Structure 1
Amino acid sequence: MKKKYEFDELVNELIEKGEGVKGLLTDMKDLSGLMVDLSYSAVLYNNDDLARAVKELEEVMDNLRYQVEVRAMLAAKTPMQATKLIGILKLASAIENIGNSAERVAEIVLRDIDIHPAVREAIREARRLIEAIEIKRGSKCAGDTIADLRKKYPGISIPALKQNGEWTIKPHDAIKVKVGDVLIVSGTRESVETVRKL
């Protein structure tokens, strides 16, 4: 349960940003898809970093759902309007459940549960490569913007960025990448491997 001052801050933030429920639901949808991709890749490559990223992104998902609930409450002026908003809250809950399922898949990796090779092969055939790449000291990516990286490596997408301990979904092109940042990079094997080695 949020403390009152935290609730007040969130309400003020939502009002100032003018972010409606539609935008929040879109963010939740994009995030749930990213979490599913990350969790499958975590299982495929037995990658603890990807699995931990899914666990961290679940907290982002929880916050987005909370914001949807707050925005819906602020939007309802009458009991009739509140009733009509129930569908939106159910949709937010359903999307969050997708994220929860992805988190459970990621836990398979973190708990070192054995996976049959046939399962890994099925995932391998279905997914593009996706990795969590930490920007190390001396990396050629440090100092580049998200737009710079997309231009240099046209085969990739960067659906998420962890910077200063905070996750950003769909990071803005103008954001500069720094040492210590974690990029979620998706694309062809060749393009993702190229970024990882820089």
Structure 2
Amino acid sequence: MDPLEGEASSGAVEYEPVSVKDVLVEMKDTAELLIDLSYSAVLHSNEALAREVLRLEERMDVLELKARMSLMMAVRNPGDAEQLAPVLGIVAAAGDISDAAGDIAKIVLEEMGLPDAMRAALPEAAETLVRGVVGRDSPYANRTLADIDLESGTGVRVIALRRGDEWLLNPGPSTTIETDDVALLRGPETAIDEVYESLTGEGYESPDIEVEGIADLERAVDTIVHMKNLSELAVDLAYSSVLFGSEGLAEEVRNLEIEVDAMESRFEAWTLRAAADAEEPVTLRGLIRLGSATEVISDAAIDISEGVLRDLEVHPVVRMAVEESDEIISRLEIEADSDLDGVRVTSGVPDVESTMSVIAIRRPGEGWILVGDTDVELQTGDVLISKGTRTAAEAFESLAAD
């Protein structure tokens, strides 16, 4: 019997007073990690990562129940109901994202069919995400991340830790790695081997992939990776649109959802054409699941931002989360003759006196450009999605004006 089988139904979840704000923050962080883990599990054929997705999915189910109970207890009059309705939408959308991530993970665990050559077609520059258990003799055990200084030395990051049933979703410099922790590592494949061995005491071997020779496979991989990136961006913008009451960000979520829908339609058409050339067409079955689950994630982003699009007042519990946020996501359009027209952006960093980081650009006639791993020159009419402090965002916005 699978060790995870039946766990989702074990243990009653009873009402207890909890901070709705804290639950919403944890649901957001969990949803973002679930998207990352599920796609990595599929693209890297990693069953261990897929099982961590199912564990997180179970955690999300509990969080969703707790949030619903607390919100129901908070409704005392029609005004409360109007303010809390969008929050319930956020809770439901996080659950939808969790379910979609679980469906993606099951592509690996249920061997439903996916070309092994997808892994071989991934770009060499793509980062690897692996799961490892901290060994007793690991040089990283019982040390903080700041002390280990892993990222600056190797480029590998610890993106999450699981300690028994407890998840540390945003480990920081002061976080201590302990023996038997389950660590999720992301970084260049060339560096992962050494870090994984130091962490676990065991060697890491990349899966041995046999290329099947399916035509246009690289294009399909590029499409699904781009869909995943756009869906992640949509979810990020959707939460930000709610937290900061930004109708502009909510409109960009809608634009992203339209783009993902169009790409999913093209992806399905490619899969059906590829089936005619595949030796075993059933191996493409998982691709249909992957495309449809990605669309569910982008649809969930729309549900998160629905309250903003319908001009409903943000509930105070969400405003409390805003007050604790150190960074914000902003949207601005570059006007003609502005100081940003013609500025070069390298790996998200604009060549101006600003601490804002550009996440994505929507360019008229070209669609979305994700700038994390590319260089681009800004143009008049570009719509920029950027992240940084409030002060930096205000200064950056003034550069975009003429």
TM-score by structure 1 length?
0.78
| 1:132 maps to amino acid | R
**Structure 1 contact 57–167 (Cα < 8 Å) conserved:** no
Return 5+ residue gaps in structure 1 as ranges. Answer: 1-16
Deviations 1:164-193 (A, max 9, x none): 254223148553322222111123444333
1:75 is the counterpart of 2:308: no
Q: Equivalent residue of 2:276, what SS?
A: coil
Paired residue for 2:230?
Answer: 31
1:150 is the counterpart of 2:350: yes
More moved, 98-107 vs 116-125: 116-125
Return 5+ residue gaps in structure 2 as ranges. Answer: 1-215
Paired residue for 2:376?
Answer: 175
**Structure 2 contact 343–377 (Cα < 8 Å) conserved:** yes
Distance apart, 1:35 and its partner CA: 0.6
**Structure 1 contact 155–187 (Cα < 8 Å) conserved:** yes
1:106-145 pair list within 5 angstroms: 106-122=305-321, 125=324, 128-145=327-344
Paired residue for 1:47?
Answer: 246
Paired residue for 2:219?
Answer: 20
Q: 1: distance between equivalents of 2:221 and 2:380?
A: 34
Distance apart, 1:44 and its partner CA: 1.4
Distance 1:164 1:77, change over 3 A: same
1:160 is the counterpart of 2:397: no
What is the RMSD computed on CA atoms of the aligned residues?
2.8
**Structure 2 contact 343–352 (Cα < 8 Å) conserved:** no
**Structure 1 contact 160–167 (Cα < 8 Å) conserved:** no
Q: 2: distance between equivalents of 1:124 and 1:76?
A: 52
Distance apart, 1:41 and its partner CA: 1.2
Distance apart, 1:27 and its partner CA: 0.8
Q: 2: distance between equivalents of 1:122 and 1:139?
A: 33
Q: How many residues align?
A: 183
| 2:380 maps to amino acid | V
Identity among equivalent positions (%) equals 34
Q: 2: distance between equivalents of 1:162 and 1:187?
A: 19
Paired residue for 1:192?
Answer: 393
Q: Equivalent residue of 2:281, what SS?
A: helix
Q: Larger RCO: Structure 1 or Structure 2 (Cα < 8 Å, ≥ 6 residues apart)?
A: 1
Q: 1: distance between equivalents of 2:326 and 2:225?
A: 22
Distance apart, 1:90 and its partner CA: 0.8
More helix by share: 1
**Structure 2 contact 244–322 (Cα < 8 Å) conserved:** no
